Amino acid sequence: MKPKTIILILLIVLLISSSMTHSIARIFDKIIAYVNDDVITKRRLDMLVKQYAFELQQIHRYTESEALKEAEKQRAELLDRRIRQMLLLEAALTLKIQVTDAEIEEYIQNFKTKLQIPTDDEFKKLLNRDGLTVVAYRERIQRDLMTEKLVMGRILPRLQVRDSDIQKFFEENRDELPTKADRVSLSHIFIAFKPTAEDRRAAADAVNQALEEIRSDKTQFEAVARRIASKHNLNAQAGALVETTPSEVLSLPDAFLTVLAKLKTGEISEPIEVPDGIHVLRVEARTDEKISFRHLIVPFLFSEKALQAAREKADAISAKLETGEDFITVAKEHSDDLETRDKGGDLGTHILTALNPKIRETVESLDIGKYSEPVETGSGFYIYKVDERKTPELTQQEKQQIIGILRQQLFEKEWTAYTDSLLENAYIKIQPDAVPAMPTADSKDN
């Protein structure tokens, strides 16, 4: 049971229980714990377990079997809570804390609303079913409210939440507040892996072999594309039919546009080399409104020589930045990203949590105006720079929600500390078999 759930019932001793007096309970019930001059019986703890199971069903939508199983797991904790509640009641009685009839009536009405009990007759039937009268129930609520007043009087003044506490909670839990993630303006310099002559020949040989197979049976285009993609762990959609409008085609690389503009239905292109590998296109259908095509790619398998060349270039660019050269100028001169190079590597503004995890990890700790070490990816090295960072402010409603959470946490801490002090000055004796041992995984196997 989560601590927050336990707190919801910490001031409810037992809303529906037997009307037996303590003397009768001591005769017929097994006593499992002594608390100063009072006792806790097994039947009382059983009822607490059932009450908690009932709440799990009604409030948290557990099934009956799930609720009972979960409640049984918390039997020891429920016993501990019951002991603490009894000590709180004893302290409230000692301090002669007063509760009015109006307060009792308001509590009962709230209880009936919570459990959706429509009439007084239904309420009485519910009480009578478990042997409890309205008078006995009101007496129990009176004790509960006395305890609540004691707790609120002792603990409530200590539940102070400072602005720094709110900000700390926000920072630590920002990932759970996606609308409050930082927005960062980024620039980058991209140093691409460039294939050597040997790398190009290997890819060209593979493409020519694929084309030979396709040209002998054009229906095999998709199957060949998928086989190549599988071999290189590429997109599983390779070879699938792509349907696009003439306007959407404009978003494709220029090399593809030139080829698609010339290909007729059923024709297969010659190999098209782009930075990531060699592509082949086949047009399946074309009209004035739509172009349908398939494509395959044989990626470059960069040799160690190609990787080392990119690594050395990335280190050289990083060294230029270290000496104070302007990032925008260096990006325009050396970046291999054709889309951003002329803009000095400007990538625009992004929500931090929406970035690729590796990019986010790199830029998250960068201060404004600072740049990263070269970051290696499958296509080359990236150097990132944070140009601007904006943190959305919390709304008043969000602040109140955080205050509520922090006050709840403080309440749990203070309640435990206060009842710990009562335990230190109380006589508590719990029978060894008060809580049956839960079966372990090993015992279940045996």
Per residue in 278-297, pLDDT (tens digit) is 999 999 998 888 889 998 99
- Alpha-carbon distance of 191 to 106, in angstroms, equals 71
- What would the two tokens of residue 354 be? 């929406």
Strand order in the sheet with 242-244: 242-244, 291-299, 277-286, 272-274
- What would the two tokens of residue 66 be? 């799930």
- What would the two tokens of residue 303 be? 């040799």
Do the beta carbons of residue 289 and residue 245 sit within 8 Å? yes
What integer pLDDT is reported at residue 439 of this predicted model?
A: 52
CA 277 to chain centre: 38
Q: With a cut of 50, which residues of the chain have pLDDT below it?
A: 1-27, 440-446
What integer pLDDT is reported at residue 438 of this predicted model?
A: 55
What integer pLDDT is reported at residue 175 of this predicted model?
A: 66
What integer pLDDT is reported at residue 236 of this predicted model?
A: 62
Collapsing DSSP to helix, strand or coil, 323 comes out as coil
What integer pLDDT is reported at residue 13 of this predicted model?
A: 34
How many degrees, rounded to 5, is the angle at CA 312 between CA 307 and CA 314?
A: 95
Chain position carrying tokens 């395959």: 296
What integer pLDDT is reported at residue 178 of this predicted model?
A: 58
Collapsing DSSP to helix, strand or coil, 296 comes out as strand
- Going by the DSSP 8-state scheme, the letter that residue 12 receives in this structure is -
Between helix 163-172 and helix 396-424 the angle, nearest 10°, is 100
Do the beta carbons of residue 283 and residue 266 sit within 8 Å? yes
- Going by the DSSP 8-state scheme, the letter that residue 397 receives in this structure is H
Where would I find the beta strands (DSSP E) of 234-379?
242-244, 272-274, 277-286, 291-299, 346-351, 375-376
What integer pLDDT is reported at residue 2 of this predicted model?
A: 44
Name every residue whose Cβ is closer than 8 Å to that of residue 258 and which is 6 or more positions away in sequence.
Answer: none
319-327 contacts, C-beta under 8 A, 24 or more apart = 321/371, 321/383, 327/187, 327/189, 327/371, 327/385
